Amino acid sequence: MITLEHVSFSYANGQPSVKDVSFHLPKGEFAAILGPNGAGKTTTVRLVDGLLQPAEGRVMIDGSDLRESRVSDRARKVGFLFQNPDRQICKNTVREEILFGLRTVRPDLSEEALQARAEETLADFSFTGKEEPFSLSRGQRQRVALASILAVEPEVLILDEPTTGLDYRECCHIMDRIRKMNEEKQVTILMVCHDMEVVLDYARQALVMADGRLLACGPIRDIFRDTALMEQASVLPPQMIGLGLRLGGTFLEADTPDAMADALIASLRKGGTEK
């Protein structure tokens, strides 16, 4: 669904650049980009959405080169959730906000169809539609931004640190909703996220970046267990993976607190029978 071939890009003003990055994500993938500040993660997702044009190489979405269409035309296919929802929200009520996004991207739909879709999205997010976005909390505003993007039913969803500034509960709301889209509608997800616990809980694939280069790409658990790689990208693996690495043996496979506890109980039982 998303393909990058030898993509390079650098800003004139010294913002992080991207050097010779290639990867492919099939439809329905849920991938996260890991790496320190300045590694080029945000630059990469901007390139994927076409907000930036690569200096070299090419970016393809669903087989078509991004250079052949405009960002604004692609909004129907690719949704982008930014870190700061306040840059997207511009209407007085949640309903208008959702309708505004829909009207822009789907001028082909009739007014009734638009209304019906907005209604469906509102119900899905448990909004009444009358809420005023700017009097809601940051987490709620992020949900409004997400709702207005998902109403369009994109095939690809890009997330740039979507949970920054949110509390744990708000973070789960947002991420659960995104997971649902991924599982039920096979929406391809590419996210940048600094919280490794969130990454482990939700993503399946990891892309590791440092200094603008792609260091590795693979299943999330394998990546986290690669100690040398994590060091190189200055990423601290999630706690349960870290604990598993320290304890070794059957604990290596456990990645949640419950699985870790089960592993201990199992090893105690096994120890007991051996005695």
Partner 1 sequence: MICIQDLSFTYKNGTEPALREVSLTLPDGDFLGVIGPAGAGKTTLTRAIAGMIPHHYTGDYYGSVTVNGLDTVETPLDQISRLVGTVFQDVESQIISPVVEDEMLYGLENFGVPRAEIPRRLEEALGMVGIADLRERSIASLSGGQRQKVAIASILALKPQILVLDEPTGELDPRSSRQIFTLLRKLNEEQGITVIIVEQKIMLLCEFARHLAVLNEGRVMRQGEVREVLAHAEDLEAAGVNCPRVTTYSRALSARLGERQPVCVDLDEAEALTRRLMK
Partner 2 sequence: MNNLFEYVPGNSFIHRLNPITKLLLTVVICVAAFVTDRLPVLLGLLAVNLLFGLIAGVAGRTWNILRGLLKIAVFLFLLQALLYRGGNPVFWIITDQGLLTAGKVVLRLVVVCMPLTLALAVTRISDLTNALTQVLHVPYPYAFTLAATIRFIPQFVEEMNGIMEAQTARGIPFDTARGLKKFSMIVPLCAPLLISSVRKTDQTAAAAEVRGFRLRTRDSAYKRYPFSAGDFAVFACCAAILAGAILL
Q: Which residues bind partner 1 (CB under 8 A)?
A: 13-15, 36-38, 137-139, 164-170, 194-197, 234-236, 238-240, 242-243, 246-247, 251, 256-258, 260-262, 264-265, 267-268, 271
For the bound state, the minimum distance from the C-beta of residue 14 to partner 1, rounded and expressed in Å, comes to 7
Bridge partners (DSSP) listed for residue 8: 56
Question: Any residues with CB less than 8 A from the CB of 199 and at least 6 apart, and which?
Answer: 32, 34, 193, 206, 220, 238
- Closer CB to partner 2, 70 or 130, in the complex: 70
Contact partner, 240, from partner 1, partner 2, none, Cβ < 5-8 Å per class:
partner 1
Closest approach, Cβ 22 to partner 1, in A, equals 24
Residue 18's binding partner among partner 2, partner 1, none (Cβ under 5 to 8 angstroms by kind) is: none
172: which residues sit within 8 A by CB, 6+ positions away? none
Tell me which of partner 2, partner 1, none is bound by residue 11, counting a contact when its beta carbon lies within the kind-specific cut-off of 5 to 8 angstroms.
none
Nearest distance in Å: CB 208, partner 2: 25
Structure tokens at 42: 């945000």
Determine, following the binding rule CB under 8 A, whether residue 17 of this chain makes contact with partner 2: no
Report which residue type is found at 250: T
**Among the residues of 66-110, which ranges form H helices?**
71-74, 94-105
Determine the 3-state secondary structure of 190 from DSSP: strand
List the interface residues with partner 2, window 25-84 (CB under 8 A). 49, 51, 70-73, 75-76, 78-80, 82, 84
Neighbours of 172 (CB within 10 A): 15
Write out the H or E segment, with its range, that includes residue 22. strand 18-25
Tell the smallest beta-carbon distance from residue 271 to partner 2 (Å).
Answer: 56
Rg (CA), the chain: 21
Task: Give yes or no for a contact between 200 and 220, defined as CB atoms under 8 angstroms apart.
Answer: yes
Binding-site ranges for partner 2 (CB under 8 A): 49, 51, 70-73, 75-76, 78-80, 82, 84, 86-91, 100-101, 104-105, 134, 148-149, 152
